[in-house]
Amino acid sequence: MSKPPVLSLALPSDTGRVLSIQSHTVQGYVGNKSAVFPLQLLGYDVDPINSVQFSNHTGYPTFKGQVLNGEQLWDLIEGLEANDLLFYTHLLTGYIGSVSFLNTILEVINKLRSINPNLTYVCDPVMGDEGKLYVPEELVHVYREKVVPLASMLTPNQFEAEKLTGLRINSEEDGREACAILHAAGPSKVVITSITIGGILLLIGSHQKEKGLKPEQFKILIHKLPAYFTGTGDLMTALLLGWSNKYPDNLDKAAELAVSTLQALLRRTLDDYKQAGYDPTSSSLEIRLIQSQDEIRNPNVELKAERYS
C-alpha cells in the first residue's frame, strides 16, 4: 500500500506551513506554547520543535526538564527529510541558549532553503532586556554576523537592537537608524517591538521593499500596563509572522493587528488576575492565551501606526 499524502503539503493552506523552534513549558505560555496556538488560529499549519522542555518557565522558584542539543535537533531534521516532510514556507525561532544550538539553526536554515528557496525566516533574537543579557555573550556575535544576514524579518526589543547594531537608542531617530543598519545586514523587515523613550513605550517598524531603497518606517504608541507578563515577546513575533504574511506589503497594518491583539490579551490577563483577588504588580503573570482566542482571530485595531515621512 502506498503511504497517504501529507495534506499540509498536498493541499497547503493559503497561509503557510511553519517550523517553529522555541522553548516549551508543560505549564504556562512561553516559547512554542505562546506562539503555536495563535498561528494555528490564524490558519497556519505549525510544526513545533521544542529547544527545551521545562516544567514551567524559569521565573518560578524552581523548574525541571530537559534541554535539546544541536545534534538532537539535527536528528529531527534528518527524520523529517527522510520522509520528504521538510518543505516549509516559514521558519520561526525564539530563545536559543547556546552557540552550538544556534550554529545548528544556521544549518537548518540552509537545509530548508535548499528545498524551498522562498522560505521566510522570522527571527526573534532573544538575548536580553533592560540592559541585561540572559544568554552567553558569544551568542551576540553569532546573531550579528551569521543569523541576521539570513533573516527575512527580525523582531528585537530595544536592548537587542542595540546589541546587534552597536547603536544606543535614545530617540525615535536612533530607532529608525538601528532599523536601517539591520536592513543593510540582511532582513527586509525589522520591527523593534518595544522602545522606551522618555517614559513613552512604542514600537518602530521598518520595511525595505528593495535593497538600496529608502525603507518605509512607522511607529505605534503602546499603552503601558501596570504589570509584567511572560511570553509576550514570543506571542508578538508569532502574530507579526501571521499578519505580515497576510499583508506582505503593509508591515504597518500587520503591526497594528499584532499590537492590538496583544494589548487586548494583556488587558484580559490583568482583569482576570484582579478578579481572582491577586495583586498583578507583585510578580510576573501568565498570559490568558486560550481565553483570548476571539481577539487573536479577529482583533479590533485600536492602536494605529503613524508613518514617518
47 is catalytic: no
**Which residue matches cell numbers 528593495?**
210
Active-site entry in 234, 249, 252, 272 = 234
216's CB contacts (< 8 A; 6+ apart) are 206, 207, 208, 209, 251, 252, 307
Return d(Cα 221, Cα 303) in angstroms, integer. 7
- Cα torsion 39, 43, 49, 50 to 10°: value is 30
**Which residue matches cell numbers 536528528?**
75
Residues in the chain: 309
13's CB contacts (< 8 A; 6+ apart) are 43, 44, 45
Q: What is the DSSP letter of 188?
A: S
235's CB contacts (< 8 A; 6+ apart) are 29, 34, 35, 38, 262, 265, 287, 289
Half-sphere exposure of 220 (CA within 13 A, CB side): 27
Which residue numbers are catalytic? 234
